[in-house]
Structure 1
Amino acid sequence: MSKKTALVVGAIIAIIVIYALNTDKKAAGASATGCKVTVTADVLNAREAADGNAKIVGKYLRDAQFDAVPGVQNGFRKVAENKWVAAAFTQPVEGSAC
C-alpha cells in the first residue's frame, strides 16, 4: 500500500470514529450543563443580559435545542456568556436537569 493510500484510509477511519463518538453523545442527550432546552416560539431572541430591553445578540428558531444553565433569573435562562433567552419560550428536554 502506498503512503498516499494509507493516509487517505487513515483519514477516513478518523472521520468515521469522530462521527460515531459525536452520534453517541447526541443520542444520549449529553449536555455539558445537564440542562437542555427546546425553543417553543417561532423566533426567540437571545439577549446580552437577563433583561427584555437588553441588546439582541442572536436568534433561535422554533424547535432548536441547546444547552442552558439550570435555573431561571428574572424570567431568563442563561445559554452562554452574555447570552440569555426568555424562559417562557423554552421547554426543558425530557430527562434534562433544568
Structure 2
Amino acid sequence: MSKKTLIVVGAIIAVIVIYALNTDKQAAGASATGCKVTVTADVLNARETADGNAKIVGKYLRDAQFDALPGVQNGFRKVADDKWVAAEYTQPVEGSTC
C-alpha cells in the first residue's frame, strides 16, 4: 500500500473509533454538563429567567430528560441560555452530577 492509502485508511478508522466512543457515552446517559435531569411534574414550564413570574419560553412533559447545569439558583435550574426550570420538579438521573 502507498503512504497516501495508509493515511486515508487510518483517518477513516480514527473517525469510526471516535464515533463509536461518543455513541457509547450517549447510550450510557452521558451529559455534556455532567448533569442530566428527569421531569417529575405533569408539565414543567421553562422560563426566561430564574423567576416564577418570568416569561414562559417552553414546556417539558413528565419523564422528559435533558441536560442541565449543575447547581440551583433561586429554586431554578438552568437548562440553556435564557431557559430555566423549577428545580423542585426535576430529579437528577442516576449517576448524574447535578
Range class of TM-score, shorter chain: 0.7 to 0.9
User: Deviation per CA, 1:25-68, whole angstroms, max 9, x where unpaired?
Assistant: 32221100000000000000000000000000000000000000
Is residue 74 of structure 1 aligned with residue 57 of structure 2? no
For 1:38 and 1:95, how far apart are their aligned partners in 2? Answer: 12
Query: Following TM superposition, by how much is the alpha carbon of 1:20 offset from its aligned partner in structure 2, in angstroms?
Result: 6.0
For 2:35 and 2:24, how far apart are their aligned partners in 1? Answer: 18
% identical equivalent positions: 89
For 1:39 and 1:74, how far apart are their aligned partners in 2? Answer: 18
Q: CA RMSD in A?
A: 1.6
Is residue 61 of structure 1 aligned with residue 61 of structure 2? yes
Q: 1:42 maps to what in 2?
A: 42
Equivalent residue letter for 2:31? S
**Normalized against structure 2, the TM-score is what?**
0.76
**Structure 2, unpaired ranges of 5+:** 1-15
**Normalized against structure 1, the TM-score is what?**
0.76
For 1:83 and 1:97, how far apart are their aligned partners in 2? Answer: 20
